[in-house]
Amino acid sequence: MDHDVFSNVPLMVQHLRNLTDLPHYIGGQLNPHSPAVRAIDDKWFTPWELYPEDYYPPYVDGPCYFLSGAVVPLIYGAALKEKLFHFEDIFITGLIPRDHLHLPVQNVSRSHIYQTERLVTNVKDLVTIHPTSPQKMYEYYNLTVNP
C-alpha cells in the first residue's frame, strides 16, 4: 500500500472474510484491458522492447492491492525468474499471475479511488481512498468509527 492511501480496515477485513478462494487471492481495483502507453513523454510510457503486446494482462492498481499469504512466495519465486518490469503493480498482479501462476485477478467491488479534492461522503463504503494526506486520513478514520 502506498503512503498516501487511507484504508478502511473494518471494511477490508469484512471483504477478506467473505472470500472463497483466499489461499490464492490477488485483488484490488481491477484494470481488465489497459493499453500499454507508447507516447515517450508520458509518465506511464512502456517501450515496445520491454513489453511487445498492445494491452497489459488484467492487473490491479498500485496504490493498494491484496495478496494472500500463500500467493506471496509464489509471486516472489516466479519474479526471480522473470525480467523486471518498471510498473510494480502490472508486474506483481498482472504479468506474474498470467505468465507463471495462471491465477485470476479479482476486483474488490467496494475498492474505490477518490481524488483528495473531491468531497468524500461515503467513507464507510470505501475500502481505500487515494491520494490523501495524513490529516484527511484522520478525518476519514473518524468517519468510519463515528458515523
Instruction: Summarize pLDDT for 28-43 with one digit per residue, the tens.
Output: 889 999 999 999 999 9
Residue pair 70/3 in contact by the 8 Å Cβ criterion: no
Tens-digit pLDDT profile for residues 90-108: 999 999 999 999 999 998 8
- The confidence band for 114, taking pLDDT boundaries of 50, 70 and 90, is low
Q: Can you tell me the distance from the alpha carbon of 88 to that of 79, in angstroms, rounded to the nearest whole number?
A: 11
Residues 79 and 96: beta-carbon distance below 8 Å: yes
> Is 60 exceeded by the pLDDT of residue 115?
no
Break the chain into its structural domains and give their ranges: 18-107
**What's the confidence (pLDDT) of residue 32?**
95
Of 23, 100, 16, 105, the C-alpha closest to 59 is: 105
24 contact partners, CB below 8 Å, separation of at least 6: 68, 70, 71, 74, 101, 103
